[in-house]
Structure 1
Amino acid sequence: MSKALERREKLRIDLILAAERMVASRGLAGLKTRDLAREIGCANGAVYNLVTDLDELILRVGSRTLHRLDEALSAAQSAGDLSPQETLVRIAIAYCDFAAENLELWRALFEHRMEADKTLPEWSIEDQMQLFRHIYQPLAALFPKRSREELGITARSLFSAVHGMVALGLEQKLVAVPLPALRKEITVLVRAMIDGLIARAV
């Protein structure tokens, strides 16, 4: 790699890291390219020589968030000799804790909207879909007779239920729930859903 390409790549990484810090402190609405350019020491227009557009920059920040979430869920999944049911509970609690500890970056994953005529790049879709393996694997152990498609639907349904509780519980308004109470409620929800699925299967 030439020196010029090395400098460009370093500046690109600096841009993504600066954007990550900005989203973490200000939220997605506070992401301003002028401020980013000033922070990394380049002209405002030069930002778009490093990324295609603001969408790509936000997706690159989101990719870093998803990779860290993946690490947190992997740690929860490998903690101790747990039954599939308890593994799913651990994963749900880890998801809640990650969201609470990285609130603005986590929110940005769901607040960002691409324009109607633009599609998500494959690498971004892959980053998102990789996370479902944490739910899919224990579900496959619990329900070995279910098809891959059925397990995928159940995994997405379970995620949606937990995500909804986390999103409402961490909302900094009237519906906010103290984190210890939110963890307990998520535990009850996941166990009840799994018990219901097992009963229905029997």
Structure 2
Amino acid sequence: MTKALERREKLRVDLIQAAEQMIAERGLAGLKTRDLAREIGCANGAVYNLVTDVDELILRVGSRTLLRLDEALSAAESASDPSPQETLIRIALAYCDFAAENLQLWRALFEHRMEADKILPDWSVNDQMQLFRHIYQPLAVLFPKRSQEELGITARSLFSAVHGMVALGLEQKLVAVPLPALRKEIATLVRAMIDGLAARGVKRISGA
């Protein structure tokens, strides 16, 4: 790699890291390319020699956030109690804790909207889809007779329920819920959903 390419790659890494810090401090709406250019020591227009556009920059930051979230969920999976139901509860609580500790970066994952005619890059889609394995694998143990498609739908439904509770619970308005209470409610929700799915499976087998 030539020195020019090395400098460009270093600037690109610096840009993404600076954008990550800016979003963490100001939120997605506070991301300004002029401020980023000043931060990394380049001309404003040079930012677009490092990334295609602001969408790519936000997605690159999002991938870094998703990687750290993936690490947090993996740590939750490896805790002492290996039962799939308790694993799912730990994963849900780890998701809640990560969101609370990285609020602006976590919000940016869902607040960012691309124009309707722009296609999400494959690398970004893959980064997002990888996270569902944390939910899918315990569900596959709990419900071995379900098809991959059924398990995929259940995994997304479970995620949506937990995500909704976290999003509302961490909202800094009237609906905000203290974190300990929110964690307790999330654990109750996941346990109730799993118990309900198990009971429905028993009814299906018995023909009830």
TM-score, normalisation: structure 1: 1.00
Aligned 1:62-73 pairs, distance under 5 A: 62-73=62-73
CA-CA distance at 1:81 after TM superposition: 3.2
- The answer on 1:51 being equivalent to 2:56 is no
- The answer on 1:191 being equivalent to 2:178 is no
Question: What whole-Å deviation, never above 9, does each CA across 1:11-53 have from its counterpart, x for those lacking one?
Answer: 0000000000000000000000000000000000000000000
- The answer on 1:84 being equivalent to 2:112 is no
- The answer on 1:139 being equivalent to 2:139 is yes
C-alpha distance in structure 2 between counterparts of 1:46 and 1:4, whole Å: 14
CA-CA distance at 1:80 after TM superposition: 1.2
Corresponding residue number in structure 2 for 1:116: 116
The aligned amino acid for 1:3 is K
- The answer on 1:171 being equivalent to 2:171 is yes
The aligned amino acid for 2:40 is I
Question: What whole-Å deviation, never above 9, does each CA across 1:91-123 have from its counterpart, x for those lacking one?
Answer: 000000000000000000000001010010000
| Unaligned 5+ runs, structure 2 | 203-208
- The answer on 1:157 being equivalent to 2:174 is no
C-alpha distance in structure 2 between counterparts of 1:154 and 1:162, whole Å: 12
Corresponding residue number in structure 1 for 2:201: 201
Aligned 1:124-135 pairs, distance under 5 A: 124-135=124-135
C-alpha distance in structure 2 between counterparts of 1:25 and 1:82, whole Å: 37
- The answer on 1:13 being equivalent to 2:6 is no
SS at match of 2:146: coil
Question: What whole-Å deviation, never above 9, does each CA across 1:56-82 have from its counterpart, x for those lacking one?
Answer: 000000000000000000000011132
| Unaligned 5+ runs, structure 1 | none
C-alpha distance in structure 2 between counterparts of 1:2 and 1:39, whole Å: 24
Corresponding residue number in structure 1 for 2:205: none
| RMSD after superposition | 0.4
C-alpha distance in structure 2 between counterparts of 1:10 and 1:81, whole Å: 43
* Identical-residue share of aligned pairs (%): 88
The aligned amino acid for 1:158 is L
Question: What whole-Å deviation, never above 9, does each CA across 1:131-167 have from its counterpart, x for those lacking one?
Answer: 0000000000000010000000000000000000000
C-alpha distance in structure 1 between counterparts of 2:3 and 2:81, whole Å: 50
The aligned amino acid for 1:68 is R
SS at match of 2:134: helix
The aligned amino acid for 1:14 is D
C-alpha distance in structure 1 between counterparts of 2:100 and 2:62, whole Å: 16
Corresponding residue number in structure 2 for 1:29: 29
C-alpha distance in structure 2 between counterparts of 1:39 and 1:4, whole Å: 20
